[in-house]
Amino acid sequence: MNIHSLAPQESKMIERKIAAVDIGYGETKMAWLISDGPVHRSFRSIVELANPQDLDSYTLNRRKTVRVVVNGVEYEVGNDANKMAARPNEGVLHDDYVGTPEWMALAKAALATIGAEKISHLVSGLPMMHFDPVAIERVRSRLTGVHEHCGPLTVEVGKVSVLPQPLGGLMDFKKQAAWEIAGRLSKQGVFIIDPGAYTTDYLLTLQGQAAPKRSGSTPHGMAEVVAITRAAIVRQHGGAPDVHTISEALKNRETTVFAAGTEVKLAPYVTRALTTVGGAILRDIRNTVKSFEDIDTVIMVGGGAAMFRPIIADGLPVPAVHLASYPAFANVRGYLEYGESVV
């Protein structure tokens, strides 16, 4: 069997004092510290059963995946795992997502990518819609301890901390922002919006304290944009690439895809889809936040931040909407910052 891993191969035992993982529905992100500073990586959150009849050795381009074992079952995880399936895996989204084998497979692949056999403190996060004591304890218990078959590694995880996902984005923005801006945030009303794959989280802090009744999550995100885009292309052209291909095209800022042999411009379809989904996000935010008079700063983080920013800026009565640096990694960088702050 030909086993491929996203993890670096080390000859000696590697220990990391602090590492962070952001296990998202669309992408899984990791961050850790090395002597030169922080490192961050990501892979698509695709999990498929491993095929014992692996033909990868006979193909021109090897799959970008890592193999892990969960409860005795072998999975292939990562960017190209969907190429093993008879039909594309659309992901897993329900209230017990963190309790699924797929979630654990993503976690093990993340540990493999970090490439350490011992992690003293691992920081992770949960979407706002799942951030409750039961889910927090579930994440802690699943990530703590010894994990075998993380690619070629066995990984021991010590302490585990769990944060609301947008809080990671806020911590990262404070670190990345100019000193005078970062200093003001603790005295302001700060609204963080985090458009992800299947959900958009939002968190309001007032003078540095969370306002939970005016924070929340909406079941709309980039996956819905991709689905609407694909459906419109199919209606007009009689075919379209799968959702993963369209998603990857948007991520890589490609302007066209092929549909039934025809090269199709994405922009008109994506613009209409963003307007539809963005409108739904704005309605839910307005219904939850109620008043925007005490909000001074809006920060957008997450994989869909750049695409949704114009719609959010036009649709909310706020002074300005700031985009985090490399927004897809903002949350996981913030988790790492939190880990450093509590050492």
Average pLDDT per consecutive 10 residues, the chain (343 residues; last block may be shorter)? 47 87 94 91 92 52 81 91 56 72 97 97 94 95 97 96 96 84 88 96 96 96 97 97 93 95 97 98 98 96 97 95 95 96 82
Three-point CA angle 160, 166, 170, nearest 5°: 100
Confidence at residue 182, expressed as pLDDT on a 0 to 100 scale? 77
259: Cα separation from own chain's centroid: 28
Are 106 and 89 spatial neighbours (Cβ–Cβ below 8 Å)?
no
Confidence at residue 79, expressed as pLDDT on a 0 to 100 scale? 82
Confidence at residue 138, expressed as pLDDT on a 0 to 100 scale? 96
CB 91: neighbour CB atoms within 10 A?
19
Q: What's the rounded Cα separation, in Å, for the pair 212 and 197?
A: 22
Confidence at residue 35, expressed as pLDDT on a 0 to 100 scale? 85
DSSP output for 157-222: EEEEEEEEHHHHHHHHHHHHS-HHHHHHHTTSEEEEEEE-SS-EEEEEEETTEE-GGG-EEES--H
pLDDT in tens, 163-201: 999 999 999 999 988 766 777 898 999 999 999 999 999
Q: What is the pTM of this model?
A: 0.88
Are 143 and 127 spatial neighbours (Cβ–Cβ below 8 Å)?
no
> Which positions ≥6 away from 20 have C-beta within 8 Å?
30, 31, 32, 122, 123, 124, 168, 332, 333, 335, 336, 339
Dmax (CA) for the chain in angstroms is: 61
Cα-Cα-Cα-Cα dihedral sign, residues 49, 54, 59, 64: positive
Question: What does each C-alpha distance from 294 to 187, 190, 306, 321 come to in angstroms?
Answer: 11, 9, 24, 15
Which stretches does DSSP call E strand in 45-103? 47-49, 66-70, 73-77
DSSP one-letter code for 8: P
The two beta strands, 27-34 and 15-23, are antiparallel
Q: What's the rounded Cα separation, in Å, for the pair 127 and 207?
A: 22
Q: What's the rounded Cα separation, in Å, for the pair 228 and 47?
A: 23
Domains, the chain, in order of start with CATH, read 15-163 (3.30.420.40)
DSSP one-letter code for 66: E
Burial class (CB in 10 A: 0-12, 13-18, 19+), 127: buried
